Amino acid sequence: MIKIISIKIAISMGIAFLFLNHDVNAQTNYPNKTIKIIVPFGAGGTGDILARIFGQYLEGQTKQSVFIENKPGASGILGTEAAKNAEPDGYTLLLSTNTTHAANVSLFKKLPYDPVKDFVNIGSFGYVSMVGTIPPGSPFNSISSLVSYSKNNPGKVFFGYYNSASLMSAEQLKVRSGADLTGVSYKTIGNAITDLMGGQIQLLFLETASGASFVDSGKILPIGVTSLQRYKKWPKVPSIAETYPEFELTAYLALSAPAKTPPEITNSLNNWVSKSLNDPTVKTKFDSLGIYSQPMNLEEMKKYVQSEIDRWIIYTKNAGVEPQ
């Protein structure tokens, strides 16, 4: 009887060892299949562009395919929730931003995820400023003339927004200047740009990366950037702070994974994110998009996300924006 029990124990231990060994090998051999990066916004936005640039870099480093899935809706909530509920095995990642992981905490009463507890925030790619844009033929050609026009024509100036940065840029302008602006929500950046060019809305704040091709082609006109310094690609476009001192708003872009993703995997991903920022090809593309790189390790990233949550609490409070 003792022999039989011993044999059963040995077999059980052997099976357990095989499963454990398989799990360890799966982690140490990461990645060995296609990686998916969920972008919780529409195609053509800064997050989408950046995810595809990084995806190409990651493919070169890992020799595995990287698939970008756009899942827009509800200020990035739909895609972020999908990433939260994914298997924490490193094969479903999230292009996270200040919208998904900071602003939404203040903008929504009930959020179906916690940006700190439900994710391992792996690393930061960097941050971008926004640019206020108007359609050609607009009755104003500067931030000050827009503000003046809106005050003299109450209820006639509409701004579009598709994420927290595009919303809060306009809300901050209202607070600092007294402008009379009415917001119009869009599911994707593409729809907002289409309506701006068509004159349905009169103002749209875009990330410089997203707006570059439209500005450079003359389809929309830039009237002010939200960083304290001017955007080097458009040196003639003033910063809004030149007219309204201390006006500043930037948006960050990062990589996150579901909570409980093994440390071996998140450390590898953090290393690839950091290395990508020094890759000449990636760096050139990021520079052309106006992305200011800011590499961070996992601990720094954890603290940074919390600091951004705190910063956006102040933004929304000062703007008087009530959570939905």
HSE-up (13 A, CA, CB side) for residue 119: 31
Looking at the DSSP bridge assignments, the partners of residue 120 are: 257
Parallel, antiparallel or unpaired: strands 250-258 and 92-97? antiparallel
CA nearest to 96, candidates 269, 270, 264, 257 = 257
| CATH numbers and ranges of domains, the chain | 27-126+252-319 (3.40.190.150), 129-242 (3.40.190.10)
Indicate whether 231 pLDDT > 70: yes
pLDDT per residue over 160-185, tens digit each? 998 888 999 999 999 999 999 999 99
Q: How confident is the model at residue 18 (pLDDT cuts 50, 70, 90)?
A: very low
- Write down the pLDDT at residue 265: 98
Would the pLDDT of 32 be above 70? yes
Give pLDDT tens digits for 50-98: 999 999 999 999 999 999 999 998 889 999 999 999 999 999 999 999 9
Classify 145 in phi/psi space as left (phi over 0), alpha (psi -120 to 50) or beta.
Answer: alpha
Task: Give the pLDDT band of residue 15 (cuts 50, 70, 90).
Answer: very low
Residue 21 has pLDDT above 70, yes or no: no
Q: What average pLDDT score do residues 270-276 get? A: 97
What is the rounded average pLDDT of the residues 35-53? 93
Find where tokens 């009530």 sit. 322
Structure tokens at 155: 């209820």
Q: What is the pLDDT of residues 281-305, one digit of tens each?
A: 999 999 888 888 989 999 999 999 9
pLDDT (average), residues 8-24: 46
pLDDT of residue 28: 63
Residue 35 sits at φ, ψ, to 5 deg, of -100, 135
Q: What is the mean pLDDT of the chain?
A: 90
Conformational region of residue 90, where left means phi above 0, alpha means psi within -120 to 50, and beta covers everything else:
left
pLDDT attached to residue 235:
93
Whether 2 shows a pLDDT value over 50: the answer reads: no
**How many Å apart are CA 159 and CA 192, to the nearest integer?**
9
Say yes or no to pLDDT of 11 above 90.
no
Residue 9 scores a pLDDT above 80: no
Q: Taking residues 236-245, report their average pLDDT.
A: 95
**pTM metric for this prediction:** 0.80
pLDDT value, residue 50:
95
- For residue 127, the surrounding DSSP H or E stretch is strand 119-134
